[in-house]
Structure 1
């Protein structure tokens, strides 16, 4: 024999029925690459490291490039037919260290704080996460570097009015070409950061990649090592970057747009290795 329903039970029955047929008014759809890009853009623009590193890079490019031009103009230095654009190399080389740091921190900081677990929980596709980070970071770095390099190039040309007039190809290499190369260097750093999963270690590795070939070449005095010495100098990152400005440490090696192809190959290898390891390792 069942007991009669109490008034409290009768009040709860309709509520339970309503809950069983409840449907959320929020549309549910599968996540896309666009969603991952929006998420990574929010993270990148909301952290202070982005403002500091890119801000220092812009300051270095402007200060070093413009001050060098002003010093040469004050001393009436003759550039011997060289365009004033070559002076932008020094500021870009120093600013590249900032891009390397930010590229590593873009993914390395998430491993150090454990935020990567939340990221991969929200977006289980690890390839999509890495692709979104790469797209956002490359786009931001390319735009800022290209705009700053263009401003520096214009100011240097105006200050050093006696220098040779740059051609259209030289303008493109020293602005758009430099922007692509530095953004590619940042992607290489991002790939190394994803492989190493440790910010300090990945930054140290990338600084070694930039500086070590030239340092090693300085100590190769034996005749048997001349070919190795020449290779290290020609394909070092500072020499490839200077090639975009039309001046190199040797008479051979990559020139014109060729340094971009070399950097593209390095980025492909680094990001390919990062994808393979991300799919095989636990976070």
Structure 2
């Protein structure tokens, strides 16, 4: 040791977002919940899509041709929602979040890394699955050839919508910090509007019933496949932009909460 004290031979580099991304990627690919949830999601999207295609058969004409994949994507989205919540809430449940924030004190960086890694993984896996189902539909069913816009909405659009749902779930998980509570809240968001609409009868609540159906998650996904539940609701890519806005607001609240609260 010299007069200036000990100097380590190991280079010291300032931490940045890339380190947080590498850490979150290691976490998400090494836990069982990722394998199980994404595996079940693939099984639902591709399996139900294939079964629906076989059931529809090639004897009768389908229009729109790619709409058969809708049910599998809707059910598969529930798995992505679960993984989105667990990506953050499981660390609060086990206390791992303390280690994470000790290694990376910047809470904004931690949440950003989680959001980027999760969204990228969910988008890639879901888009691959929806594209495979769309190709099966196109090859096995009879009907008018889909337009470029229909192809994009049934593949990339559906993948983006499901990934955004998962990102919204991550934001809700950050706010609630409780796995069961956040998953229940997200399942309610997905399923409750349609269930409420079924029980709302009478002219006085007709507008409310219509709004619940038009802006529900199942109807939004169906719109991407050109089979909206009601013709008066959002059309084309509009449901995707609506969900993107809602997700941005919830994530903004999540950033504010994680920056101010104790772990």
> C-alpha offsets along residues 130-178 of structure 1, whole Å, 9 cap, x if unaligned?
1000000000000011111001100111111x22211111000000101
Count of aligned pairs between the two proteins:
263
1:71 match: 55
CA distance in 1, matches of 2:69, 2:222: 9
Task: Say which of 82, 87, 93 aligns to 2:74.
Answer: 93
2:153 match: 173
Task: Write out the 4+ residue segments of structure 1 that deviate beyond 6 Å after TM superposition.
Answer: none
Q: Which runs of 5+ in 2 are unaligned?
A: none
Task: Say which of 105, 110, 126 aligns to 1:145.
Answer: 126
Deviation at 1:94, TM superposition (A): 0.5
2:242 match: 262
Task: Say which of 195, 199, 220 aligns to 1:219.
Answer: 199
Q: Please show how residues 1-283 of structure 1 align to structure 2 within 5 Å.
A: 17-18=1-2, 21-73=5-57, 76-79=59-62, 82-160=63-141, 162-283=142-263
Q: Which runs of 5+ in 1 are unaligned?
A: 1-16
Q: Contact 2:64–2:226 at 8 Å: present in 1 too? A: no
CA distance in 2, matches of 1:155, 1:26: 54
Q: Contact 2:190–2:216 at 8 Å: present in 1 too? A: yes
Deviation at 1:77, TM superposition (A): 3.5
Partner-residue secondary structure (3-state), 2:57: helix
CA distance in 2, matches of 1:126, 1:252: 43
Partner-residue secondary structure (3-state), 1:124: coil
With normalisation by structure 2, the TM-score equals 0.97
CA distance in 2, matches of 1:202, 1:21: 51
CA distance in 1, matches of 2:204, 2:148: 41
CA distance in 1, matches of 2:223, 2:111: 30
Q: RMSD across aligned C-alpha pairs, in angstroms?
A: 1.2
> C-alpha offsets along residues 19-50 of structure 1, whole Å, 9 cap, x if unaligned?
96321122212211111111000000011110
CA distance in 2, matches of 1:67, 1:20: 73
Deviation at 1:265, TM superposition (A): 1.0
Partner-residue secondary structure (3-state), 1:53: helix
Q: Contact 2:81–2:186 at 8 Å: present in 1 too? A: yes
Deviation at 1:229, TM superposition (A): 0.7
